Chains A and B, each alone.
Chain A
Amino acid sequence: MSTTSTLLSPELLARLEKMELISRKIFRGRMKGERRSRRKGQSVEFADFRNYVPGDDLRFIDWNTYARLERLFLKLFLEEEDLHFYALIDASASMGFGDPTKLRYAQQLAAALGFIGLIRGDRVRIETLGQRGSAHSPVFRGRRNAWRMFEHAESIEPGEQTSLAAGVKNFCLRNSGKGIVVLLTDLMDKAGFEPGLRYLLAQQMDVYVVHILSTEELHPELTGDLRLVDCEDGDEAEVTVTGPLLKRYHQTLAAFLESARDFCTRRGMVYLAANNQVALETTITDYLARRGLVR
C-alpha cells in the first residue's frame, strides 16, 4: 500500500484492511437475493425463512426442509449490493474544540470507515453539513482512490454555519439512495438535534450517529466567575462555576446524552457516544464493531 496519510496511521490501515462494512437492512421479499454476488468465494448470505406463496421463485425453496417437514419454505438472503457509504461530518465551529479536535476525530473516523468501504469495493462519499444543496462531493470507489479520499477528508475545515437540521436536510435531498450513513457530530444545536435526525429517519438508510464530545464538554475545567462565549453564535452565559454548579452541569450532560441515545434507539438508529480521548482504533474495532457497523 502506497497510500500515506496523516489522518490514519499505517498500523491502523493494516488493521482496517481486514474489516468490512455491514448493512443491517434486510430487504425482505422484494430483493430476494436476485443479484448474484460480485465477490467470489462469498456466497449469498442467508438471513431467514418464510412460507412459500404461489409465484415465488422455485429456486429459492429450501428442499432440504421440504424433505424433512413436507412443507415449502423460501430462503431469504441479505442484500448483497455494493454499499453506498456516506460519512456526514458536522464541520461547525464547535467541532474545532478539543485535542485532538472533535472535527479531526470525525475526519479520522470518516476516513477509516471510508477506507474499509473502499477496500471492500463500496461506494464512499464524505460530506459535511455545510455543503451547498447541489454541490456533490466526489464519490470514491476502489482502493486506489484511498489517498484522494483522505485528502478530501482532511480538507474539511471547521466554521460552517449551518444548523444540524438544515445540513441533514440538504444531505438527504442530495442523496436519496440506500446505504449506510454515519453522522459525525457533537449534536450541539440550540434548536435541538431531533429535527435533524428525523430527516435521516425518512431515508431508507442504515443510520449511525456518532456523538463526539471533547473533554472540555465532558469534564470542563472551569472555575470562578466566567462569561462563557459560544464560539458559534457568540451567545453569552454568565456563570459562577462552583462544585454544585458543576454537579448540575454533569447532570444536564448526562440527561443530554441519555436523551440522544434514547431518541436514536427508539427510532432504529445506532447511537454511539464517542470521546476524543479514546483511541480511534478502539472506537472502530471495539465500539462500532460491537454495534454492528463493521466486522
Chain B
Amino acid sequence: MWPTWINMLGWWQWAILLAVPPAIISLYFLKLRRRPVEVPSTYLWSRTIEDLHVNTIWQRLRRNLLLLLQLILLAILILALLRPAWRGQKLIGHRFVFLIDNSASMNASDVAPNRLDDAKRRAAALVDNMASGDVGMVVSFADTARVEQMLTGDRAALRRAIESIRPTNRPTSMVEALKVASAQAAGRHAAQPADEKSEQIVPAETSPATAYILSDGKFAPVSDSSLGLLKPIFLPVGGESPSNAAILVFQTRPREKLENWLQAFAQIKNFGTQTIRADVTLRRDGNLIDAEDVSIGPGETQNVVFDVGEMDEGVLELAVGARDRLAVDNRGWVAVNPPRPAEVLLVTPGNEPLELALGTRSAAKLANVAVRPPTFLKTQEYAAAAAGVHDLVIFDRCRPETMPQSNTLFIGNVPTEPRWSLGERVDVPQIIDSDPSHPMMQWLALDDVLLWEGRAVNPGPGGSVLIDSDAGPMLAIAPRETFQDAAMGFLLVDVENGESVSRTNWPIRPSFPMFVLNTLTYLGGAVQERGGQSVRPGQPFAFEAAGPVGSVTVVGPDGRTMRPTVVRPGQYQISTTEQLGAYEVRVGGKPVSRFAINLFDPNESDLAPRPAISAGVEQVAGQSGWEAARREIWRPLLLAALAVLVVEWLVYNRRVGM
C-alpha cells in the first residue's frame, strides 16, 4: 500500500528547501577545514585525545554523525511537509456509544474464544481508533442495560470498562440499552447547570452520537425505543449458523390418576443446520435416573418424556449431552416442592352451599378452611389473623374494620377500600358476560345461572370485572398492594324469617364448585405446581416462607448462601438469580422449598447470525463501523524529527565533552 501525498509548498519554496541539504554539506566541509597550528609537541595533545582514537571507524563515523543526523532531520521535515498518508479508516462521528451485548447467547463459542470476548476485542479496536477529542461511553446490555463507563475521552478508561464486562445468562432486550445510550450520549437531556454552584445554564447538547451495537442480534425487535440523535451501527457478532441444541421447555406434571406420580416433560430444539445426536440424561438430586438418545433434525423440535416416579420434593436436572456452540441452554432444572395447602378463613353467619363446596375432596386438598362467625371480626384473634396468617379470607355478608394482609373475597359486599363502591339492590340481574381469560373464571359456563337479586360492585380504576350483568358488575376483582380483593354483588344464601333461603341457583350448577376451586387456586395462591416455579435468570423471585426474618436464606446452585430482601412479613424476594440452576430456600438452615432458574429462551438459543436488527423504527443492517479516511503520519514524523534533534544534540555534547 503506497502512501498518498499532498504537496504543501510552491515550486520556489521547494527550491529553497532542497537547497538546504547541499548547504549543510558544504558548511560541514567548510567547518572541517581545520586551522593548522604549530605546537612545540603534540605529545601531550596526542595523549589527551588518545582514547578518542581507540576505534577509528567509530571515530570516522562520529565525525560524520552530526552531518548524517542533520540530513536525516531535514529529510524527515521534507517528508512531513509532503503530508504522506495511507488510505485508512476512522470511526464515524465523534461521540460514540459502544453497546456490548453480554446476554446468554454471547457465551457461544462459534467464534474463538466466545462471542463476548470477540465483541470486546472489536470494541477495544474501535476505541483504539478513536481520534483525540472523540468521546465515548460503554454500555453492556442483556435484559437490562448497565453503563460501564460514562461519556469520556479517556481511552484507557473505556478499554478498562470494556474489559470489565462479564458474561451473563440473561435474555436480551435492547430497549433499555438504547434508551440509556440515547439519553446519555446523544445529548437529549435537558439543559443543566454547568456545575453545582453556578446558576448559569449550559445549553443542552445536541451533538449526535454513533451507537456501535456489538451483538448477535438475539432479541425481540425494538419498537418503542426512540433513538433520538443516536445513529445506530450494528456490528454483528457470531459465526455462520453454528450448531446448537437447546432445552426450551422442561416441566413436571402429575401422571393422570396417579397424584404423586410425576412425569418430566422436555422440549429440545435443534437450532443448527445439521442433525444433532445427543443423549438426554435426567438426574434427580444428582443421581442419574433415566437417559435417552435423541436425534434431532435441523430446525426440528423433539419432545422427551421421562417417568420420574413418586417424588415429593427435590431437584430434577435435565442435560443434553450435545457438543454444540452454546452450553448454557443444554441444561434445565425443575424444583419439586412438597404441596402446601392454602390457609383459608371463611367468616360467615352460615353458608351451607359454600361450606359444602369448600368441603369437597379436591378443595380439601387445596386448602385448610377455618369457619368463623362475623362476631369473630371484633375479637383480638382476628387482629392477629389479619396480620397475614391466611392466604385467603372470605367475608360472607360481613365486612372487617381493617382489611387483612391477605387476599379476600367479599360476598354481598365490597372491600373496605375507598376505590370500591356498591350499587343499589336490583332484582333479577341478568348475567351478560364473564371474563373467561381470568384464572378465576376459567372453564365456567354461567349460561344457566340465575340471580334473584344483586348489587353492582364497582372495583374502581385498575380493577377488572369478571361477571357483568345488565345491572352492573356482579363479580369484580381489584388489586390492593400486593393482594387481590374480589367482591361478589349477589348473595348465595340469605336468612329470611329465620330460615336460610337461596338467592341464586348457582350452587346447584356444576360451575359453582369449579369456581370455588379456581378461587382457591388463584386467590388462595397456595397450590403451587408440584413442579415449582421456573424463573428466568436475572429476574427477581418472590416467595413466602414462615419463620423469623433473619433465619430465611437462599442457597444458590454454587452453594453460596444469600439473604433475600423482606417484602413484608413472610414475603421475601431474591434478585441475585444470575446463575442457572436450582436454588434452595432455607429457614433456620432447613430447606423448605426450591425454585429453578432456567434460560429457556429460543431467542438466545438460536445462534444463527442476524444480518440486521431493528432499532427504533429503523432497520439497522450489519455494516462496517468504519469510513475511509486519510491516516496522515506527519505528526509521528515531526515527533521523529524531534527525536533526531535530541540525538544530534546529545552527540554534539558528547563530542564536545570528550
Known: A242-B656, A244-B657. A249 touches B40 (CB 8 A): no
Question: In the bound complex, do residue A226 and residue B40 qualify as a contact, i.e. CB atoms below 8 Å apart?
Answer: no
Whether the pair B42, A237 counts as a contact (CB closer than 8 A) is yes
A96's closest neighbor in chain B, by CB?
Answer: B40
Contact between B47 and A225, CB atoms less than 8 A apart: no
Once A224-B35, A225-B32, A229-B36 are accepted as A-B contacts, the answer to whether A240 and B42 lie under 8 Å apart by CB is no
Q: Would you call B48 and A245 a contact (CB within 8 A)?
A: yes
Q: Report which of B31, B32, B45, B47 forms a contact with A228, defined as CB distance below 8 A.
A: B45
- Are A252 and B47 in contact, CB atoms less than 8 angstroms apart? yes
Q: From residue 205 to 253 of chain A, which have CB atoms closer than 8 A to chain B?
A: 214, 216-217, 220, 222, 224-232, 235-240, 242-245, 248-249, 252-253
Q: Which of A117-125, A184-192, A261-269 contacts B (4 or more CB under 8 A)?
A: A184-192
User: A97 interface residue, CB < 8 Å from B?
Assistant: yes
Contact (A217, B40) CB under 8 Å given A239-B49, A244-B656, A249-B48: yes
Do the beta carbons of B48 and A248 come within 8 Å of each other?
Answer: yes
Measured between beta carbons, the chain B residues less than 8 angstroms from A95 are 40
Let me know if B658 and A217 touch, CB within 8 A.
Answer: no
Whether the Cβ atoms of B41 and A232 lie closer than 8 Å is yes
In the bound complex, residues from chain B placing their C-beta under 8 Å from that of A27 are none
Contacting residues of chain B (21-52) with chain A, CB-CB under 8 angstroms: 31-49
Q: A225-B32, A239-B49, A244-B657 are in contact. Are A231 and B38 (CB under 8 A)?
A: yes
CB contact under 8 A between A235 and B42, given known A225-B34, A226-B37: yes
**Once the chains are docked, how many angstroms separate the CA of A240 from the CA of B658?**
10
* Closest residue of B by beta carbon distance from A231: B38
In the bound complex, residues from chain B placing their C-beta under 8 Å from that of A224 are 35
A256 sits at the interface (CB 8 A) = yes
A252 B41 Cβ-Cβ under 8 A:
no
**Least Cβ–Cβ distance between A30 and chain B, in angstroms:** 42
Question: What residues on A are CB-neighbors of B36 within 8 Å?
Answer: 226-229, 236
Nearest chain A residue, comparing its CB with the CB of B53: A237
With an 8 A cutoff between CB atoms, is A94 at the interface?
Answer: yes
Interface presence of B509 (CB below 8 A): no
A226–B35 CB distance below 8 A: yes
Q: Which residue of B lies closest to A249 (CB)?
A: B48
> Which chain B positions have C-beta within 8 A of A226?
34-37
A248→B46 CA distance, assembly (Å): 12
The reply on B425 being an interface residue by CB < 8 A is no
Chain A residue at minimal CB-CB distance from B33: A225
Nearest chain-B residue to A255 (Cβ)?
Answer: B47
Task: Give the interface centre of B33, B42, B46, B47 by most chain A CB atoms within 10 Å.
Answer: B42
Min C-beta distance of A202 to chain B, whole Å: 25
**Alpha-carbon distance between A256 and B48 when the two chains are bound, in angstroms:** 11
Q: In the assembly, what is the distance between CA of A249 and CA of B38, in Å?
A: 17
Could you tell me the distance in whole angstroms from the C-beta of A61 to the nearest C-beta in chain B? Answer: 56
By the criterion CB–CB under 8 Å, are B46 and A229 in contact?
no
Residue among A98, A186, A244 making CB contact with B41, cutoff 8 Å: A186
Q: Is the CB of A229 within 8 A of B44?
A: no
Q: Give the CA-CA distance A189 to B46 in the complex, in Å.
A: 12
Cross-chain contact of B38 among A229, A238, A244 (Cβ < 8 A): A229
Q: A225-B34, A245-B658 are in contact. Are A230 and B49 (CB under 8 A)?
A: no
Task: Note all chain B residues with C-beta closer than 8 A to A228.
Answer: 36-39, 42, 45
Task: Tell me the bound Cα distance from A140 to B31 in angstroms.
Answer: 56
Contact pick for B44, options A97, A98, A235, A256, CB 8 Å? A256
* Structural contact, A244 and B35, CB atoms closer than 8 A: no
Bound-complex Cα distance A239 to B50 (A):
11
Most buried by A among B35, B37, B45, B48: B45
Q: Is the CB of B37 within 8 A of A222?
A: yes
Distance between A16 CB and nearest chain B CB, rounded to angstroms: 29
Q: Which of B33, B39, B49 contacts A229 (CB 8 A)?
A: B39
Query: Which of A102, A235, A238, A253 interacts with B34 by CB under 8 Å?
Result: A238
Decide: B40 and A231 in contact? CB cutoff 8 A: yes
Note all chain A residues with C-beta closer than 8 A to B49. 237, 239, 245
| Smallest beta-carbon distance B54→chain A, Å | 15
- Bound form: Cα–Cα A154–B491 in Å: 159
Q: In the complex, which of the residues B34, B44, B47 contacts A217, with contact meaning CB atoms closer than 8 Å?
A: B44
Closest to A243 in B: B656
| Cα–Cα distance between A217 and B42 once the two chains are bound (Å) | 10
CB-based contact A216/B658 at 8 Å: no
Check A97–B656 contact: CB distance below 8 A: no
Contact (A225, B41) CB under 8 Å given A240-B656, A245-B48: no
Report chain B residues within 8 Å CB of A214.
Answer: 40
A98 contacts across to B, CB distance below 8 A: 40
* Residue of B35, B45, B656 touching A237 (CB-CB under 8 A): B45
- How distant is A189 from chain B, measured CB to nearest CB, in Å? 7
Q: Which residue of A lies closest to B653 (CB)?
A: A244
Q: Is the CB of B40 within 8 A of A94?
A: yes
Q: Indicate whether B189 reaches chain A with its CB closer than 8 angstroms.
A: no
- B44 touching A249, Cβ below 8 Å: yes
Bound: A93/B657 CA distance, A: 32
Partner of B40, one of A216, A225, A239, A244: A216
The docked-state distance in angstroms from the alpha carbon of A243 to that of B32 is: 19
Of all chain A residues, the one with the shortest Cβ separation from B49 is: A239
Q: Report the separation of the CA atoms of residues A253 and B35 in the bound assembly, to the nearest whole angstrom.
A: 23
B44 / chain A contacts, CB cutoff of 8 Å? 188, 217, 249, 252-253, 256
Chain A hits for B41, CB < 8 A: 94, 186, 188, 190, 217, 230-232
CA distance A244 to B52 in the complex (A): 13
Name the distance in Å between B66's Cβ and chain A's nearest Cβ. 11
Within 8 A of A (CB), among B116-154: none
Q: How far is the CA of A242 from the CA of B49 in the complex (A)?
A: 12
B35 contacts A225, CB within 8 Å?
yes
The reply to whether B48 and A188 form a contact with Cβ atoms under 8 Å apart is: no
- Residues from chain A with a CB closer than 8 A to the CB of B33 are 225
Decide if B568 is an interface residue (CB 8 Å cutoff): no
In the complex, the chain B residue whose C-beta lies closest to that of A187 is B43
Is B655 an interface residue when CB atoms closer than 8 A count as contact?
yes
A244, B658: Cβ atoms under 8 Å? yes
Binary interface encoding of chain B residues 446-474 relative to chain A, with 1 for a CB under 8 A from any of its CBs, else 0: 00000000000000000000000000000
A231 and B40 CA atoms in complex are apart in Å by: 6
Task: Collect the chain A residues with CB atoms within 8 Å of residue B657's CB.
Answer: 244
Binary flags per residue of A41-79, CB closer than 8 Å to B gives 1, else 0: 000000000000000000000000000000000000000
A216: chain B residues at CB < 8 Å are: 39-40
Residues of B within 8 A of A94 (CB): 40-41
> Looking at A102, A237, A244, A249, which has the most chain B CB atoms within 10 Å of its CB?
A237
Cross-interface CB contact of B39 among A225, A230, A248, cutoff 8 Å: A230
Task: Give Cα A96 to B655, complex, Å.
Answer: 33
Chain B residues in 8 Å Cβ range of A237: 42, 45-46, 49
Residues of A144-197 at the interface with B, using a CB-CB cut-off of 8 Å, are: 186, 188-190
Q: Bound state CA distance, A186 and B36, in angstroms?
A: 23
A252 to B35, CA, bound (A): 23
User: With A and B bound together, what is the CA distance between A239 and B42 in angstroms?
Assistant: 11
Smallest distance from the beta carbon of A217 to chain B beta carbons, Å? 6
Q: How far is the CA of A244 from the CA of B49 in the complex (A)?
A: 12
Closest to A191 in B: B43
* Residues of A with C-beta under 8 A to B40: 93-98, 102, 186, 188, 214, 216-217, 231
- Taking the nearest CB of chain A, how far is it from the CB of B62, in angstroms? 11
CA of A217 to CA of B45, assembled, Å? 10
Which residues on the A side are within 8 Å of B46 (C-beta)?
190, 235, 237
Bound Cα distance from A229 to B39, whole angstroms: 6
In the complex, given contacts A93-B40, A231-B41, A245-B656, what are 12 additional A-B residue pairs having Cβ atoms less than 8 angstroms apart? A186-B40, A188-B43, A190-B43, A220-B39, A228-B42, A232-B41, A235-B42, A235-B46, A237-B46, A242-B656, A244-B656, A248-B48
Please list 5 pairs of residues, one from A and one from B, whose beta carbons are closer than 8 Å in the complex, sorted by A's number: A190-B43, A237-B46, A244-B657, A248-B48, A252-B47
A-B complex: 10 closest residue pairs judged by Cβ atoms: A188-B41, A94-B40, A227-B34, A97-B40, A230-B42, A237-B42, A227-B36, A225-B34, A252-B48, A242-B656
